[in-house]
Structures are given as structure tokens and as C-alpha cells.
Amino acid sequence: MAALSAWPLAVRAQAAWPQRTVKLVVPFPPGGPVDAVARVLAARLSELWGQQVLVDNRPGAGGQVGADLAAKATDGHTLFACSIHHTVLPSLKGRLPYDIQKDFVPLSFGARFPVVLVTHPSVEAKTVAELIALAKKQPGKLSYASSGNGGGTHLAGELFAIQSGTQLVHVPYKGSAPAMSDVLGGQVPLMFSDAPTALPQWKAGKVRALGVANAKPSVLFPGVPAIAESGLPGYEAYSWTGYVAPASMPRDAASRAAADIQRVLAEPAIAQRLHDAGAEAAPNSPEAFGRFIADELAKWTRVVKTANIQAD
């Protein structure tokens, strides 16, 4: 992980950057959680820098298309919104046209998207411990929905099954909305859902939330315990987004970008806007974000191999 830790990103006041429009590449379509956070960040950075920060959506291949484009950028004014997908793809797909560690330098973690385990009201289990007991009585009978194969919610379910010693059947959908629709209709009893999708249904009493996959309870789901504290110690899984720059970016520019991204995400007004959208702002240092990426790569490689997850 040479590029991730090759040099400290110290703030240098003399850096005259940016000098023109900054492109923030988002490797997913408009409207998703990674895009939503990027747009809040881009608007505030545009004000701060006096230069437009343009969100450039480049979806395709589960996040590969945008990552490859950003990795090869040499203009010194391109940033990239990476996500959990980019720490799963290496083990899921094998060889990629870019290396998330070697071809980028970390700037800051962006935001967590809590994953919550919800059930249709007909499911008799009302706690995580009760669900685990139920699943062990019926191995291979309980199914759970996710937003898609190899995504954060799928991996949260596989990690849950591995750590709890249960056999759950994965039912992938093309997005969170159709997955939740079938849970609401009772076709699938369980779902590991992203917070924005689950929140309105939980608040309306249409699904039961057994636990959040954060290590600690989430302010987004008051009164709902962490799965780790309610039946499965040590469990933690959530989707996330963070910010990196091509390894070719000059150090002063990357230092400025890192410091200002952290500053913006720490602003109470920005944190509140993300909270309202179902995200938890969590800026950190480039060094800490680099370590996080390395840890996520190792963690999800183990899960993909243990669960024998195959790419679509």
C-alpha cells in the first residue's frame, strides 16, 4: 500500500489550489447514497474554494468504471468518491484495471450508511438472539433480501451468517427499493437494509428493526440496539463512502483537499444534512483512512472466500 502511506498529508498554506474546476468522480448513478453525500460535499467545497466542484457520475461494473477513470487522471484537479465496493471488488473480481491502494492516496473517510436488520412483522423473532435461535432451528429456510450481489448489504448478511453459525438464503435484488418492496409484501422475511431505505418503513411500523450493524447503536434508529450488543458480539458491517485522489496529484493539492474535506464534513450543518439523508459523517485523517481501507480489504476478502461469493 505504498501510495496510501508514502507521505503525510500536512496542510500547506502556500498551496495555490484549486486553480480551476475540480471534478469529483462518483462511480454510481445519481440519486444513490454515495452520490447524495458527494453532492452535499461538492456544494460546500465550491463555496470554500471559489471554484466549482463538479460531481461527475461514471457508473458501471459495480464501481470499476469510475475508479479506473479517476486513477488515470493526471490533471491534478480530480477527486474520487470510493466506497465499500472498492474494498470488495478485488476479492470478488480478481484482477482490476486499477489498484485502490497503489493508484490513489487517501484524503478522508466521508460517511457511514448504517445497515439495519429488519424483518416482516410476521417473523416471530423480536430480537437478534431470538432470530439466531430461529435460524438454527431451520437451517437453510430463512431468507434475506439485499440490494444486490456483492454489495454492502449482501456482505452484512453473509458476515452475520458466518459469525452466528447460521445458514441463511441470500435473495439479491437490483437495488434496495425492490428488495424492501418484497419484504413489505412478505415474500422475503428478512433484509439487511441501508438506512435511507429502512427508515421510513420502520417509522411507519411496516417492518421491525432488530438491530443496527454498527458497532454501537445509531442515532438514526433510536432505541434499536447494535447487533453486536444484542446477540452477536463483535459483529460490525456498514456501507460507507470516502475520498481519495489519484496518486499523481501533487502533494500540496492533496493536502489542501484532505484538510478541507475533513473541515466541511465536521461542520454541524453539513453533518445534520447527511443525518437527514440517512448518513453519519465521520471525517478522519488520510493516514487513518488509509489504514481503514487496508482493514476493509482484508475483512471482506475473508468473507468473500468463506461464503464463496461469486461475481455476477
DSSP 128: H
Quote the pLDDT of residue 1: 43
- Cell numbers that stand for 189 in this block: 422475511
Q: Residue 60, by phi and psi: left (phi above 0), alpha (psi -120 to 50) or beta? A: left
- Cell numbers that stand for 21 in this block: 474546476
Quote the pLDDT of residue 309: 85
Quote the pLDDT of residue 13: 42
* SS (HEC) of 264-277: HHCCHHHHHHHHHC
| Residue 109 buriedness (CB in 10 A; 0-12 / 13-18 / 19+) | buried
Delimit the CATH 3.40.190.150 region(s) of the chain: 2-112+239-307
pTM of the model: 0.86
Give yes or no for a cis peptide into 268 (omega within 30° of 0): no
User: pLDDT by residue for the chain (312 residues), tens digit each?
Assistant: 445 444 444 444 444 899 999 999 999 989 888 999 999 999 999 999 999 999 999 999 889 999 999 999 999 999 999 999 999 999 988 889 999 999 999 999 999 999 999 999 999 999 999 999 999 999 999 999 998 888 889 999 999 999 999 999 999 988 888 999 999 999 999 999 988 889 999 999 999 999 999 989 998 899 999 999 998 999 999 889 999 999 999 999 999 999 999 999 999 999 999 998 889 999 999 999 999 999 999 999 999 999 888 877
DSSP 177: H
Superfamily of domain 2-112+239-307: Bordetella uptake gene, domain 1 (3.40.190.150)
Q: How many CB atoms lie within 10 A of CB 90?
A: 17
Closest CA to 274 of 120, 154, 109, 121: 109
DSSP string, 31-47: TSHHHHHHHHHHHHHHH
Give yes or no for a contact between 290 and 1, defined as CB atoms under 8 angstroms apart. Answer: yes
DSSP 21: P
Length of the chain: 312
Cβ neighbours of residue 132 closer than 8 Å, sequence gap 6 or more: 164, 166, 231, 232
- Cell numbers that stand for 9 in this block: 498529508
Quote the pLDDT of residue 7: 44
- Tell me the CA end-to-end span of the chain in Å, nearest whole number: 28
Quote the pLDDT of residue 311: 76
Rounded CA-CA distance 124/190 in Å is 11
Residue type, 297: L
Delimit the CATH 3.40.190.10 region(s) of the chain: 114-229
Give yes or no for a contact between 47 and 213, defined as CB atoms under 8 angstroms apart. Answer: no
Give yes or no for a contact between 22 and 266, defined as CB atoms under 8 angstroms apart. Answer: no
For 114-229, which CATH class? Answer: alpha beta
Quote the pLDDT of residue 31: 85
Quote the pLDDT of residue 277: 85
Quote the pLDDT of residue 174: 84
Quote the pLDDT of residue 285: 98
Q: What is the dihedral of CA 276, 23, 83, 255, to 10 degrees?
A: -100
**Which parts of 128-174 fold into alpha helices (H)?**
128-137, 152-164
Specify the 3-state DSSP secondary structure of 164: helix
